[in-house]
Structures are given as structure tokens and as C-alpha cells.
Chain A
Amino acid sequence: MIQNLFDGILVGSILSLGAIGLTMVMHMLRFANFSHAELLSLGAYVTFVFDKLLESMVPALSQTIGGLSLTFSLIFAIILSMGVTGVSAIIIDWLVFRRIRDSAGPLSMVFASFGVALIVRNLISLIFGLKPKLYSEEITFAVRVSLDPLILIKLDQVFVLCMALVIMLIFHFVLSRTTFGYALKAVSENPTLSQINGVRLALMIRLIWLIGGGLAAVAGVFYGLNNQVSFLMGKDLVLSLFAAVIVGGIGSIYGAVVGGFLVGLASNMALLILPSGYKPAVPFLIILIILSIRPTGLFGEKK
């Protein structure tokens, strides 16, 4: 029970990070982006590559931090990967979505995002192989927090959870204290009025992809640390991310954060009553329930 609670919160924090970008894109560009989850696996693999590169270039960086299995090189790799993944998101938008946005409706973008997801996911598996990867071959042992009930927690997991919370807090300050934050809020409330007030929409869209991609990369790495780095990560997470966005209400960044935690918790708590094989279907049930009782989500605006 408490173990499920902890796992739920942990997965929830990862989903929250991933859902922030998705909710911004769904609100601003008005389409459900089925390829957003692939940014998580892209970020995870790019981090993997940078990590190995840094380790071989500067062996000193391969030292682990404290009692964690994480190395310094991994931390730097994550930062680099955030940039690369964010820029990749901008490039994908520029190559595909922008063109379709100009010529066809939002549903064509949904459609294209399925195609993009297939391409990105399978290119990754073609390049990196079908076998999952691990950031560290070292086996870290879980700390037994209590025996009855049995609760096992890894230090890495605590680190991931704390980092996820710190990143969200930083993002919160950017949103609430900077002109960029106001502009972002302004654009999501009324794009035309914000344009009149000097906000460059094209630039904002690029920034949204950059931020969404960067946060997705972190989420992907954290998911990879917690499980393993696999090209199927996006496929496994896409529905949970949508569930988080819908629970929070499309366009609400804080909603996405809360939604992420709720979906993570619900998915893990559901295991108390459902056989574990049914776990992938839980986000779908959450989506159905929310859409039938409160389609605007917890924090969404009414139409």
C-alpha cells in the first residue's frame, strides 16, 4: 500500500514533467500531439550518448555522486540533452507541424503526429537496437525503509523525485516572476491580444517546443533511471501523459503537474485491486471518467 503510494508519487513526478510540454502544445497549437512521448525516449537516448561520450573524454566524471548510481557525467549529459531534445522538437515542428498548421486543420496535425511518433520511435530502435539500455550497469540496492509492510526505496528514486520537484519549482518561478512567464500566460489566454501587445507568436511557439522538449528529456531520463532506457518508452507513456493533461485541464500547466501525480498514483494504486497485466489500461479508464464527469479537467477553463 505505502509502497504503491511511493511508486505512484515517483512515476507521477515523471509524468508531470512530461505533461507540462504536452499541455502547452495542446493548448497553443490546438492539437493532441501523439509524438510528444517520443521526446521522452529521444531525451533519454541522447542523454545516454552524451553520458558515454563525457565518460570517455573525462574519466573523472564517471565518479558516482554520494550513494547514488548517478555520475557527474550523467548530470551534464542531461543538461545537454535537454537542449538537444528541445531543439529537435523545434525542428520537427518546422519540418512537419508548421507546414500542416498553415494548410490544414488541427486534426491533420494529430494525424501527422502519429506518423512522426512511428518514425522517431523506430529510428531510435534502428540506431540503438531493440534491447533496452541502462545508464549504469552497477546494481544499486534498495534501502528497506520498513519490513512490515515491506517498503523498498532506492536512493536514486529519492534523488529523481527531489530533482523533479526542484525543476517544477524553478519553472513555477519563471512563470510567475518573469516577463516571459506573463507572455506565456497571455498567449495561452488570448493569442491575438498578446500579439497586439508585442508578443511574437512564432517565437513563443518555438520557446514552447524548447521548454516542452527540455522537460520531456528530463522526464525520459528519470523514467530510464527508474526502469530502463527503451525505445518503447514513448509508446508506454503516451496515454498516461494524455491522461495527466486531461485530468489537469488542457492548457493548465499547474493542472498538468497535479494531473501527472494523480495519474501516477491512480495507476499504482489500481494495482491493489487489478492484476498487474491491466496496468496499461488504467490511464484510459481515467480519461473516460474525467471526460464523462468533467471534460474541462480540474483546472481547465470552461468554453
Chain B
Amino acid sequence: MSDTVLNVQSLTAGYVPGLPILHDVNMRLGRGEIVAVIGPNGAGKSTLIKAIAGLVLVEEGTIMLGARNLVGIRPDEMAIFGIAYVPQTNNIFRTLTIRQNLMLAAKRSDGLVDDLIERMFTLFEILRDKQLDKGGKLSGGQRQMLAIAMALVAEPTLILMDEPTAGLAPKVAEEILALVQDIAEKGVSIIFVEQNVKAALRISNRTYILAEGRNQIDGSTQELMEGQVIKEIYLGGRRLETS
């Protein structure tokens, strides 16, 4: 098994002190691994991602990045630790141009910025054509691409993605998922939340199921696919709607 990059241990976290949303959640992520988080609406998937990104109040537990505990690190410092986060909604700046979005996300002003942005444009040709347009003008798929590009341009080692394919046409969603796999192949570790259980199982190395803010069952995707419980829980549609 690959070496552990991120280790979340007995995490209890939420938005209001004393009213945690997540209870005693555990999660592990290896280098270059893709880990999917699935679960019903309101399960706390976004909250878990936000907790890692430093955006919610952690009451108990640790989030170890290597030997370093991330609890208490401000969200604007996460980039220093090589962590990038693509939120579920409102993940680009509508009032800035595509290029300005990327410049801001690159978090540097040296000569390398242009190179990095250029690399993003080779990855997403469509963004190059629109680089002077305001972010608000992009379509859903393009917006998602820009959001991912904004994460990549900071050259992270760990990317957190919250439902990167939500609301996209199936074909575009496929493209995004293929991209996620490409990114991971270059050694970047990825945690992503996915509504589409089949897609999640297909591209991830391991999958965590969250319900009511707690781990339900986890293991390698292979094991999950074969396990009886998992089929009952969601392929059978008891808890989740599979789309």
C-alpha cells in the first residue's frame, strides 16, 4: 500500500460550537491515490472536505498531513502545504476574467505565472479562447474546468474536490473524471465527493461512505463492490439514490 499522505482521525467538526455535524470520522489517503466520498444528501460530505481545508470548526480529532496536524491552519495557508480545494458551488470568481481567476489562484507573481497559466490553457484549450471573458460568462462545464484549473495552477500535492461533476452533461462529466484520473497518475492525491456512485466506484482506489456525519463502511473499492452490505446500502438504493 502506498505511503499515507493524509490521515484523518476521530474527527468531530461542525459549524456551530457544540453542534457537530461530523462525528468521529476517520479517513486515510495514500500518495497518488483517488479516494471517493459518497453518501446521502446532508451526510456531511462537504463538511468533511471543508474541515480538511480549514473552513469549519474542528472540535476533536486530528488531520495529519505527513507529520503535521492541519487543525488550526487557516484556509489561506493551505496552499503552502500543497493543498488545493475545489468547492461544490461558487467555485470561481464571476466578476474576474478567466485569466485573472488563474492569476489569483496561482498565488505568485513571478515570471512562472505565465508559464503555469499557459500549461492550464494547453490542458483546457477552451479556456484559452475565453481568457479575457468574465468568469460569469462560462457554461457549467467550463466553469468546473476553470475551478479545477485554479486548483492545479497552484501545483498542489493534494486536491479536494466537492462534486466536480454535479450538474454536468454525462459527456462532460466523463471528461472531468478522466482528468481526475490523469491528475492522480502524476502523483497528486485526490479526495473527491461524488453523487454518482458507479462513477465513484469506477475511478477511485478506495471509497468512504458517510451518513449522518459518520463513517458507514470503507475499504478498497474492490472489496466494497463485492461486499454484500454495500450493495444493500446503496446499489440497492436503500439510502442513496444512485443516478
- A contact set with B: CB distance below 8 Å: 179, 182-183, 185-186, 189-190, 192-201
Lowest 3 CB-CB distances: which A-B pairs, in order? A198-B107, A195-B75, A195-B76
Chain A binder among B57-65, B97-105, B183-191: B97-105
Query: Bound state CA distance, A194 and B87, in angstroms?
Result: 12
Which residues of A lie under 8 Å from residue B104 when comparing CB positions? 179, 182-183, 186, 194, 197-199
Contact A196 B93 (CB under 8 A): no
Which residues of A lie under 8 Å from residue B109 when comparing CB positions? 179
* Secondary structure type dominating chain B contacts: loop
Q: Does B74 contact A (CB under 8 A)?
A: yes
Contact B87 A182 (CB under 8 A): no
Contact A193 B90 (CB under 8 A): yes
Nearest Cβ on chain A to B211's Cβ, whole angstroms: 26
Nearest Cβ on chain A to B33's Cβ, whole angstroms: 22
Interchain pairs with CB closer than 8 A, number:
59
Known: A182-B104, A183-B104. A190 touches B75 (CB 8 A): no
Nearest Cβ on chain B to A303's Cβ, whole angstroms: 14
Nearest Cβ on chain B to A44's Cβ, whole angstroms: 34
Known: A194-B104, A196-B85. A185 touches B93 (CB 8 A): yes
Known: A179-B104, A182-B103, A182-B104. A198 touches B76 (CB 8 A): yes
What would be 7 A-B contacts, judged by CB atoms less than 8 Å apart? A185-B93, A196-B55, A197-B76, A197-B107, A197-B150, A198-B76, A200-B74
Nearest Cβ on chain A to B229's Cβ, whole angstroms: 35
Considering the complex, which residues of chain B in the window 123-176 have a beta carbon less than 8 Å from any beta carbon of chain A? 150, 154
Contact B53 A196 (CB under 8 A): yes
Q: Does B94 contact A (CB under 8 A)?
A: yes
Report, as a range, how many residues of chain B touch the other chain: 20 to 34
Nearest Cβ on chain A to B105's Cβ, whole angstroms: 5
Contact B95 A185 (CB under 8 A): yes
Which residues of A lie under 8 Å from residue B85 when comparing CB positions? 196
Residue among B55, B79, B92 making CB contact with A198, cutoff 8 Å? B79
Nearest Cβ on chain A to B106's Cβ, whole angstroms: 9
Known: A189-B93, A189-B94. A195 touches B79 (CB 8 A): no
Contact A199 B90 (CB under 8 A): no
Nearest Cβ on chain B to A108's Cβ, whole angstroms: 19
Nearest Cβ on chain B to A203's Cβ, whole angstroms: 9
Query: Bound state CA distance, A183 and B100, in angstroms?
Result: 9
* Residue in A194, A198, A200 whose Cβ sees the most chain B Cβ within 10 Å: A198
Which residues of B lie under 8 Å from residue A189 when comparing CB positions? 93-96
* Secondary structure type dominating chain A contacts: helix
Contact B103 A196 (CB under 8 A): no
Query: Bound state CA distance, A98 and B55, in angstroms?
Result: 20
Which residues of A lie under 8 Å from residue B74 when comparing CB positions? 195, 200
Sample of 8 more A-B contacts, CB < 8 Å, known A185-B93, A193-B87, A193-B90: A186-B96, A189-B94, A190-B90, A195-B55, A196-B85, A196-B87, A198-B107, A201-B76
Known: A182-B100, A182-B104. A196 touches B78 (CB 8 A): yes
Which residues of B lie under 8 Å from residue A197 when comparing CB positions? 76, 79, 104-105, 107, 150
Q: Looking across the interface, which residue of chain A has its beta carbon closest to that of B100? A: A182
Known: A179-B109, A182-B103. A193 touches B76 (CB 8 A): no
Which residues of A lie under 8 Å from residue B94 when comparing CB positions? 189
Query: Bound state CA distance, A200 and B76, in angstroms?
Result: 6
Q: Does B205 contact A (CB under 8 A)?
A: no
Which residues of B lie under 8 Å from residue A198 when comparing CB positions? 76, 79, 104-105, 107, 154
Nearest Cβ on chain B to A212's Cβ, whole angstroms: 20
* Residue in A190, A197, A198, A199 whose Cβ sees the most chain B Cβ within 10 Å: A197
Nearest Cβ on chain A to B40's Cβ, whole angstroms: 24
Q: Looking across the interface, which residue of chain A has its beta carbon closest to that of B50? A: A192
Q: Does B91 contact A (CB under 8 A)?
A: yes
Considering the complex, which residues of chain B in the window 38-64 have a beta carbon less than 8 Å from any beta carbon of chain A? 53, 55
Query: Bound state CA distance, A197 and B90, in angstroms?
Result: 13
Q: Looking across the interface, which residue of chain B has its beta carbon closest to that of A181? A: B100
Query: Bound state CA distance, A193 and B78, in angstroms?
Result: 13
Which residues of B lie under 8 Å from residue A182 when comparing CB positions? 96, 100, 103-104
Query: Bound state CA distance, A192 and B75, in angstroms?
Result: 9
Q: Looking across the interface, which residue of chain A has its beta carbon closest to that of B92? A: A193
Known: A179-B103, A195-B75. A185 touches B96 (CB 8 A): yes
Query: Bound state CA distance, A196 and B154, in angstroms?
Result: 11
Query: Bound state CA distance, A190 and B104, in angstroms?
Result: 13
Which residues of B lie under 8 Å from residue A192 when comparing CB positions? 55, 75, 87
Nearest Cβ on chain A to B162's Cβ, whole angstroms: 11
Query: Bound state CA distance, A201 and B107, in angstroms?
Result: 14
